[in-house]
Structure formats: structure tokens, C-alpha cells
Amino acid sequence: MTQHTHSDVRFLMGNEAIGRGIIEAGCSVVAAYPGTPSSEVLESLVRWKREANHPVYLEWSINEKVAIEVAYGASLSGVRSAAVMKMVGLNVASDPFLSAAYLGVRGGMVLVVADDPGPHSSQTEQDSRFFAWFAKVPVLDPGTPAEALEMTRRAFELSEKYEVPVVLRPCLRVCHARQNVRLGELHPSVEVGPFKKNWQRWAAIPRFRLILHKELNEKLKTIRTEEPDAKPQAIVNGSGNTLAVITSGSVSSHVRDVVDSDQRLAGIDVYKVNLPFPADADALQAIVDAHELTLMVEETYPVLELQLLDRRKVEGRQSGFVPSQGELVPETVEDLIVSAAGLQPTLRTPPQVKPRRPTLCPGCPHRPAFFMIRKVFGKAVYTGDIGCYTLGINMGAVDTCLCMGASVGMAGGFVRGFKAEEEATLVATIGDSTFFHSGVPALINAVHTKSPFVLVIMDNRITAMTGGQPTPASDYLVDGAAATPVDMERLVTGCGVDFLQVVDPYDHDGLEDTLQKARAFTYDERKGVSVVITRRPCVRVPNAELSSDRFLVNDEVCDHCMTCIRDLECPAFHYRKDEKRMEIDTDLCTGCGFCVHVCPAQAIEPKKA
């Protein structure tokens, strides 16, 4: 988001364009939880707010459920609001989401929910348009960053007009695309007047919920029949009657480019639906009826396809023509359209791609923590969680990864299945931000039920995986305003934990000693859950405490046991097969020095400056 004061066109990431749309719409409150591919929306809002001197209130909420509740409260108070998350965040927030659909909103309320077909950085390929349908909430599906800005503004208007929450569903290829985007006018805060008490609406008991459900159904019917976005728009006019393509969202951009780039496809009609739910199903059916064949190309579930009543002349996911999983990349889209047109698809030899696996950064404080957990607990079961430290799988220190907070919850169940004679042990690992997000209730559960496991909270003082967002332990909010830092030790103790120790993971002996004590508390003394906080700031934050020390491998001492590569998994180590020697890449090394203690042959020595 570079500055151009003389111009109103900028090269913006889709998420920055959505942030801009939120502020152009006169939104007053935005609450979010970071998650790829959504995180840059709130981050860009910090910059838009500063640039426009806009009064919008911004927060990273503790989790997505709270984010939606904060946005919903703001909407009832009479201002426009937004909640921003990735699609699995909507699972966490589904309770307020579905209820808010019935109750309705006052100030326009938009939920930005970023989908990740592929998936590239997520646990599922779920389609938030389908979730919106389930919740009976209208959903807009932008195709490009420029369109995302426009649609964000329209989403607020739609929400306010019908008094329903509206979902904006950008896919990864919109969120993390960049495009030259024309900025619009900034609006001051839009308000609908102060909150008026009305318990039959805002605290509706079941009897009134039935009435509200009927009202919601009527709103959806009106939107379906009257809103222009619910109708398919012709984006490529082939003026033929043989083949039509109906598409939506980011994949519509691939469709458009594929059809535009191939003369043989010039006769195809392409229609795009901006509001895939509630779509004007009659208009969709009319397209199907007017063509010999209609191909449905949408990410990732058959949302438009399922709204068609007669699918006999339709190819899509339901007919098996379109793959039921995986991202619809342009090559796939080309093959689908070319095949549907009765032409021979291009012969493709699958590229020989061997992607490098992601690893914890050199100097990452999680690395020594995982190394020592493995050393102390050996063949224990390791429940893991969502964050950079999921990469503990590379070190054999993460066996499971379900969803945010599940390392703690699952641990409580795993230990019930262990047979007494096995002497089984379990270590759960979770990051600080994930612990705040959803680990806390699970820890209370574990304390209360006397669950015998060791919990290691890997506290790097930041939400690292998603780009370094503050956590509830930070003393600042996203825009730099003062925050009250929540003390993790007080929180853990408050959960009822009797064993809590904090240790620096770079402290080799201290770390080993602390983990041994936790093991003794939980397994020898059988006193229930023990908690160890391994605390050291992420090496990627600006105030990281990096060392200028560097190390080298003494070739005469090194016996090539590979502990540094296999067990410590430090990316700074390279084994030169040709020279049969181990070396340390000083560009990558951050000087943490943990390897010095780990090397069985004691071959690693300080490098003299």
C-alpha cells in the first residue's frame, strides 16, 4: 500500500482493498482474529485509518466468536461494523453467526470470511458461501481485488437495507492477489441512531425466534428476486446457444481469461453471480434451459449448482465433471471448459515439482523446546496445535493437529484411552495466541478432571505464523493504542493449575530440568496436569533478542551423526556430501548456540570474529 497523493489508483492486495472498502463505507468498529489468508485486512485498516485520520476502532479479538460478538454489539449500538477471519474461524464463531441472522442487525454488519481452496494454509477446503446458505445469510463473492473493494461497500448497504448480517467471501486468489485498484470516496461514520431496548427482538425467546425466522425467510426471498447482484451477469457474450459457463468469485477471473485467450472458445456465454446465495435461481435456470450444455465453475462447493432445480443439462461437481476437491487453478479451468466445448484439452505432463518443506526459522525458540521435549519424554504421544509450531512434526514432537486449541482438549481424552501397563505419557504443545484463543477452557477442563498430561505453552509473545500480530499479553492494540496486558502466569494459575514453571528455551539445562520436574509432578506424583511456559520472543519480531555469536563445525571432531540436521532440524546446517563435511551457513544462523549443547561429539565451536 504505497503512497500516491497525486493519484487514486494503487497496486493493492485484495485484503488491502477490502480494508479500504470497509473504511470507505464509514464503518466504525472492526474486530478480527488473524488467519491466512485474511490477516492483512485488519493490518491494512491500521494504515488506512492513519492515512485518512479516520476514527474507526480496530481490534484483534481473542478469537473469532468474540470478534463477531464485538461487531454485533457495535451494530446494535447503531454504527456500521465488520468482523474479519479465515473460513475455519467462522466455525469457531458459528454460534453468534447463526443467531445474528435471525435477530438481524441495525448498523450494517459485514463478516469478511476468507476461503482457502487448495488448501494452502488451512485444515479444510470448506466453502463459506455454503456456510452462509446454512445460516441463511446473504454472501457476496468477489473475483478480483478491485471488485472486492466495490463489493465491500455494497455489502454494508445490503446489510443495512435488509437488516441482516452479510458475508463477503474472498478466496485466497483475491486476498493475496494484487491489482491496480481505483480508490473511492471516504465516508464519515454512518449511523442509524441509538439503540432502543426491545427484548422481543434483541433478547428473543424461542416463541419470538419463530417470528424472526419467518422474517428472515421473507428478507431472503426479496433479496433473491430484487437485488441485481443475485442475478447472473453476462461477462463474456458469445451470443451462442450451445455452451454456457456459470461462475462466481475468484475462479470467474480464470474463466474469463481462459475464454478470452482462445479463439476456439469465442462462442461461449459466461455468466457470473456476485451474490451466490440467495441467487436468483429462476434466472439461472433460464440460462440452463437456453443452452445445450451449462458448465458450473465455482470454488469450492456446488452452491449455485445446487440452487438449480433441473440439472439434466448441467455439468459440474454434482455430475462428477468438475473435481470435488482441490483448487480450480487456471489449467484445470481451461481443461474443463475446453472439454465441455467438445475440444481436445492440451496434453499436460505434470511438472516435476519438489517443494521445499517449511521449517521453523533458524533460532526459533520452538526448536530447542521441541528438541528437549523429545529428549525428556521420548516415545510419549504429542498432541499439537495450530501455528508455526505445527512444524514440530518435522522433529517428531507433534503427532496430532486438529484445530485451534485441540492439543489441550484432545490430551484430556487421549490419556483416558491409555492402558495402565503402558506407562504412557502425553505432552501437549500450544502457542501463546492459540492458548488464549481456545486453549483456556480446555485447560480448566483438564484441571477439573485431574487429567494426567504435561502442557507446554510455547510463548513467543506474538501471533507469529500469521505475521506477528499482538496477543492479549501485549500492552498495545493493533493500531498502537494502549492495552491492558493479560498476565499468562496469573491466567494459568487462575485455571487451577498447581504446577507452573516458566523457562527460557535457549537455556539448555534449565529447560531439561523444568521438563523433568513437570514429568515428575504429573506422572510420578500423579498430581494432574502440569504446565511449562517456554518463553522467548519470536526471532522475526523487530525487537527480537538476536545474538551476534556465530559457530563452526570442527571437522576433526564431527563424526557425521546428523543429530543437528535430523533431531535439531536447524536449517543453518548443511551436509556437504561431496566434501563429506558438515557446515553452518552463517547467513542463516542467528547465533542461538543451542546446537553447541546438542552435538553429541561436541564438535561445534564459537567462530572467532
In the window 6-25, what residues touch other proteins (CB under 8 A)?
7, 9-11, 13
In the window 300-339, what residues touch other proteins (CB under 8 A)?
329-331, 334
Q: Residue 500: which of 447, 549, 543 has the closest Cα?
A: 447
- Residue closer to other proteins (CB basis): 358 or 496: 358
Q: Residue 389: which of 448, 431, 425 has the closest Cα?
A: 431
Whether 74 contacts 81, CB under 8 Å: yes
Stretch that binds other proteins, among 47-55, 105-113, 153-161, 358-366 (CB under 8 A): 358-366
Distance of CA 16 to the CA centre of its chain: 16
Whether 576 contacts 602, CB under 8 Å: no
- Residue closer to other proteins (CB basis): 48 or 97: 48
* Among the listed residues 178, 375, 527, 550, the single contact to other proteins using CB under 8 A: 178
Site for other proteins contains 361 (CB under 8 A): yes
* Residue 193 to residue 365: CA distance in whole angstroms: 50
* Residue 15 to residue 34: CA distance in whole angstroms: 12
Cross-strand pairs, 584: 573
How far apart are CB 579 and other proteins at their closest, in Å?
Answer: 17
- Residue closer to other proteins (CB basis): 62 or 175: 175
Site for other proteins contains 547 (CB under 8 A): no
* Among the listed residues 185, 193, 206, 353, the single contact to other proteins using CB under 8 A: 353
Residue 221 backbone dihedrals phi, psi, to 5 degrees: -65, -40
Site for other proteins contains 89 (CB under 8 A): no
Whether 84 contacts 119, CB under 8 Å: no
Site for other proteins contains 173 (CB under 8 A): yes
- Residue closer to other proteins (CB basis): 11 or 202: 11
Site for other proteins contains 198 (CB under 8 A): no
Site for other proteins contains 542 (CB under 8 A): no
Whether 141 contacts 276, CB under 8 Å: yes
* Among the listed residues 63, 126, 128, 144, the single contact to other proteins using CB under 8 A: 144
Cross-strand pairs, 498: none
Q: What is the DSSP string of 500-562?
A: EEEE-TT-HHHHHHHHHHHHIIIIIS----EEEEEE---TTSTT-------EEE-TTT-----
How far apart are CB 144 and other proteins at their closest, in Å?
Answer: 6
* Residue 236 to residue 247: CA distance in whole angstroms: 11
How far apart are CB 570 and other proteins at their closest, in Å?
Answer: 11
How far apart are CB 356 and other proteins at their closest, in Å?
Answer: 5
Site for other proteins contains 390 (CB under 8 A): yes
- Residue closer to other proteins (CB basis): 28 or 390: 390
Q: Residue 138: which of 276, 306, 272, 308 has the closest Cα?
A: 276
* Residue 294 to residue 283: CA distance in whole angstroms: 13
How far apart are CB 259 and other proteins at their closest, in Å?
Answer: 10
- Residue closer to other proteins (CB basis): 254 or 437: 254
* Among the listed residues 312, 354, 490, 608, the single contact to other proteins using CB under 8 A: 354
How far apart are CB 578 and other proteins at their closest, in Å?
Answer: 15
* Among the listed residues 388, 406, 529, 584, the single contact to other proteins using CB under 8 A: 388
* Among the listed residues 197, 357, 490, 577, the single contact to other proteins using CB under 8 A: 357
How far apart are CB 125 and other proteins at their closest, in Å?
Answer: 15
* Among the listed residues 197, 348, 490, 608, the single contact to other proteins using CB under 8 A: 348
Residue 158 backbone dihedrals phi, psi, to 5 degrees: -60, -45
User: What is the 8-class DSSP label of residue 486?
Assistant: P
* Residue 399 to residue 456: CA distance in whole angstroms: 15
All three cell numbers of 189, joined, read: 461514520
Site for other proteins contains 179 (CB under 8 A): yes
Site for other proteins contains 358 (CB under 8 A): yes
* Residue 129 to residue 85: CA distance in whole angstroms: 14
- Residue closer to other proteins (CB basis): 144 or 438: 144
* Among the listed residues 465, 497, 539, 589, the single contact to other proteins using CB under 8 A: 465
Size of the site for other proteins (CB under 8 A): 50
Residue 60 backbone dihedrals phi, psi, to 5 degrees: -85, 115
In whole angstroms, how large is the CA radius of gyration of the chain? Answer: 27
User: Please, what's the b/e burial string for 431-468 (b: 16 or more CB within 10 A of its CB; e: otherwise)?
Assistant: bbbbbbbbbbebbebbbeeebbbbbbbbbbbbbbbbeb
- Residue closer to other proteins (CB basis): 109 or 458: 458
All three cell numbers of 290, joined, read: 437456453
Whether 469 contacts 463, CB under 8 Å: yes
Binding mask 559-578 for other proteins (x = CB under 8 A): ------------x-------
* Among the listed residues 30, 391, 599, 603, the single contact to other proteins using CB under 8 A: 391
In the window 107-126, what residues touch other proteins (CB under 8 A)?
120-121
The residues that touch other proteins, with contacts defined as CB under 8 A, are: 2, 4, 7, 9-11, 13, 36-37, 39, 120-121, 143-145, 173, 176-180, 252-254, 256-257, 329-331, 334, 348, 351-361, 388, 390-391, 465-467, 571, 587
